[in-house]
Structure 1
Amino acid sequence: MQNFWPSSGFDQLRRNARGWLVPTDDYLRLFLARPELALVPESCDAERALHAALVLQPSRAVTPREQGALADADARANYALFLRFRDALLSAGTLEGYYLSLFRRGHVDIPPLFVDLLAQAIVRNVLDDSTDVYELRAGEMLFRAQRISTQGGQILAADRDVVDLLSETGGLGEIGRLLTQANAPMRALEMAVLAEHNAPRYWQDGERHRFLLDLTHEVRNDLSHGLTLTMTRARSGLGALARVLERWIAHFLGVAVHIRPEPRIDDPAWRWHVGLDTEATALLNDLYEGNAVEAERQQRLLSLFRLDFADPQEMRADVAGKPVYLGLATSADQGVKLKPQNLLVNLPLGAARPQ
């Protein structure tokens, strides 16, 4: 197997006996190299000294006096955020333990960027033995926002940041940005739909996030005599996402579940649901409570999923053996930002399981 997502920091981390990721100095150094903390020509002497000291020993204590000596207010704020993140991560002992603690206590006190960086490293760990690039591309959805489009009957997910950048620059960087502002014609740089013929390229190009994931789960063929044949696609992006979410749950909670995409919920005994994003959470809540849902909101529902526990005894007694329904929806601007933490804090686990 080849390496993927080298910027995730997975190579700078180590696993404990449980398979969870233990932070190291090399992992913390990756944060010090990020634009938010990297030195710039305007950095003052105090900032240069603090940065050098942390690069040498990332876990060293930093005094309030050292922080207060930084001339730039933004630099002081950035270092304060990093040090709070670092200290909490080291105290938790693992990335997974810290990630869980952020959401179980209901108070996330670090920037969304740090949450996504944690998730990226953890998903990289979860998928370390995967050889399926469709799973890897689906795994990106757990830490990178997507934009959804429909082309020729296909539902396609594209990396939001890459789409926005290409729309601004045409793939030509700052020069492209200037040409766009001048309304000059530019060479269009297309993003490729992940398919069998280009799948091997993912191992080298996946971190550029320029592969579209086809989320079309079923294909309908109209036959003669008014008959319609519906077939499930073997390379469904939703199927790949379901497998990633199964692994995610098993890695954190130690429970085996089976997740499959569903076209609808036809269950008069519907008891439990979890939204995979903010929009889906609100939509499922309204549907469950019998509230009216506008047609436009319903059309933004990308997919439903059915989650079943392999062992119903691992569920809460009052819902044991019943399915859990999941939803995935877009925002009004066709964006999707998964919240994989919802599956860790909102599943109906029994008292004997991790809470």
Structure 2
Amino acid sequence: MQDFWPSSGFSRLQRNPRGWLPPTDDYLRLFLGRPELALLPESCAAEQALHADLQATPVRSVSEDQLLALQDADARESYGLFLRFRDGLLDAGTLEAYYLGLFRSGSISIPPLFIDLLAQAIVRNLLDDVTDAYEVRAAEMLFRPQRISTEDGQVLAGDRDRLDMLNDHGGLGDFGRFLAEAKAPLRSIEMQVLSDSNAPDYWPASERHSFLLDLTHEINNDLSHGLVLTMTRARSGLKALARVLEKWVQHFLGVAVTIRPLQKVDDEAWRWHVGLDIDATALLNDLYEGREVEAERMQRLLSLFRLDFEQPQEMRADVAGKPVYLGLMMNADRVLRLKPQNLLVNLPLRAPV
């Protein structure tokens, strides 16, 4: 077993019998230490008192008057958002129940940051016994936006915030330079493509989000006479992502599925699809409805996947046994914002009896 993502707060949590994560005081204290709520030299006395009270008892009630006593408007807003998040989390009973309830309700009342932090802790939980660095690196995509580069037929995903920080601070310059230097020894660069040779280095560096992930598809060679030879990429980021998404569905929904990357959908009976991000959802909807799609949009499609239920009776009766097609796509700025919640609310599940 490997330790990774210490800032996720997983070490402050414990599983219930279902394997889900009830919130703890220590987990809530993690949020109080974040920059949005941490005290500043100029914090007023009322804010210092509120922060100390919440540090001592994170679940204590806070009155409207206590919030209004904060002199800084940004501080009032930040504490208000935290308390809304905290109360919803406590009412739901587990991180998973709160996360799932948010998206099933259709009303998101907390900032995206809180959603990403929830997803990170949940994914950290379901990957606790994983020793494959590719799978854990792929799981970062569920809560951290990625910048995508396509160079010489290779598709690489890098942590957007990490790359932007390096670029803003002079670092190695633009993304092309990161890719050009990605084959250099680890000490001489900030970013490397994850490979078998450097995979052991991922674990102590997991918090820095400094590894690029290869999302290039397998290569099919046509041998004529109807034969196709698949040149398998030994360590595919797409396959690793598929394994993570399988675990994600099983963990939340309790249904077993298999997911595998596809290069195209060749199915005249295509019945159901789910976009893994906003752009893929729109593209798949247009393709399904037979609308013409611009070449530029199609080129931003990174991968398709086929999802199959291991038990077709767990699907809606009208699509039982049919595959579900998934899409993964970068936006016009070459950023991928994966939305794993789409798999939780849009799969064709059988209605509860």
Distance 1:116 1:190 in 2: 24
The count of corresponding residues between Structure 1 and Structure 2 is 338
Distance 2:189 2:213 in 1: 17
Partner of 1:27: 27
Distance 2:144 2:3 in 1: 19
Partner of 2:178: none
Displacement of 1:190: 3.8
Say if 1:211 and 1:103 are closer, same or farther in 2 by CA, change over 3 A. Answer: same
Matches within 5 A, 1:231-310: 231-310=231-310
Distance 1:136 1:71 in 2: 42
Provide Cα deviations, 1:74-107, integer angstroms capped at 9, x if missing partner. Answer: 1000000000000000010000000001000001
Matches within 5 A, 1:74-93: 74-93=74-93
Answer whether contact 1:259 1:306 (CA < 8 A) is retained.
yes
Distance 1:98 1:191 in 2: 35
Distance 1:105 1:221 in 2: 47
SS at match of 1:129: coil
Partner of 1:115: 115
Report the residue type matching 2:239 in the other structure: G
**Correspondence 1:9 to 2:2:** no
Answer whether contact 1:220 1:228 (CA < 8 A) is retained.
yes
Report the residue type matching 1:213 in the other structure: L
Partner of 2:52: 52
Displacement of 1:142: 0.2
Displacement of 1:217: 2.3
SS at match of 1:124: helix
Answer whether contact 1:274 1:326 (CA < 8 A) is retained.
yes
**Correspondence 1:219 to 2:216:** no
Partner of 2:176: none
Say if 1:83 and 1:4 are closer, same or farther in 2 by CA, change over 3 A. Answer: same
Provide Cα deviations, 1:158-208, integer angstroms capped at 9, x if missing partner. Answer: 000001111111349xxxxxxxxxxxxxx9844100001100011100110
Displacement of 1:63: 0.9
Distance 2:296 2:51 in 1: 50
Displacement of 1:352: 3.4
**Correspondence 1:61 to 2:61:** yes
Distance 2:130 2:234 in 1: 17
Partner of 2:336: 336
Matches within 5 A, 1:314-329: 314-329=314-329
Report the residue type matching 1:321 in the other structure: G
Report the residue type matching 2:86 in the other structure: R
Uncovered stretches (5+) of structure 1, i.e. residues with no partner: 173-186
TM-score, with length taken from structure 2: 0.92
Uncovered stretches (5+) of structure 2, i.e. residues with no partner: 173-186
Provide Cα deviations, 1:230-260, integer angstroms capped at 9, x if missing partner. Answer: 4121211000000000000000000000000
SS at match of 1:15: coil
SS at match of 1:21: coil
Provide Cα deviations, 1:206-235, integer angstroms capped at 9, x if missing partner. Answer: 1100000000121356999xx985412121
Partner of 1:175: none
Distance 2:220 2:15 in 1: 45
SS at match of 1:85: helix
Q: Would you identify which runs of 4 or more consecutive aligned residues in structure 1 move more than 4 Å?
A: 220-224
Partner of 2:95: 95
Partner of 1:184: none
Provide Cα deviations, 1:22-62, integer angstroms capped at 9, x if missing partner. Answer: 10000000000000000001100000000001001000001
Distance 1:79 1:132 in 2: 38
Answer whether contact 1:157 1:212 (CA < 8 A) is retained.
yes
Displacement of 1:14: 1.0
TM-score, with length taken from structure 1: 0.92
Distance 1:157 1:307 in 2: 22
**Correspondence 1:148 to 2:130:** no
Distance 1:140 1:161 in 2: 12
Report the residue type matching 2:149 in the other structure: S
SS at match of 1:38: coil
Q: Decide which moves more: 151-160 or 85-94.
A: 151-160
Answer whether contact 1:171 1:189 (CA < 8 A) is retained.
no
Report the residue type matching 2:255 in the other structure: V
SS at match of 1:54: helix
Question: Sequence identity, in percent?
Answer: 73
SS at match of 1:342: helix
Partner of 2:208: 208
Answer whether contact 1:28 1:86 (CA < 8 A) is retained.
yes
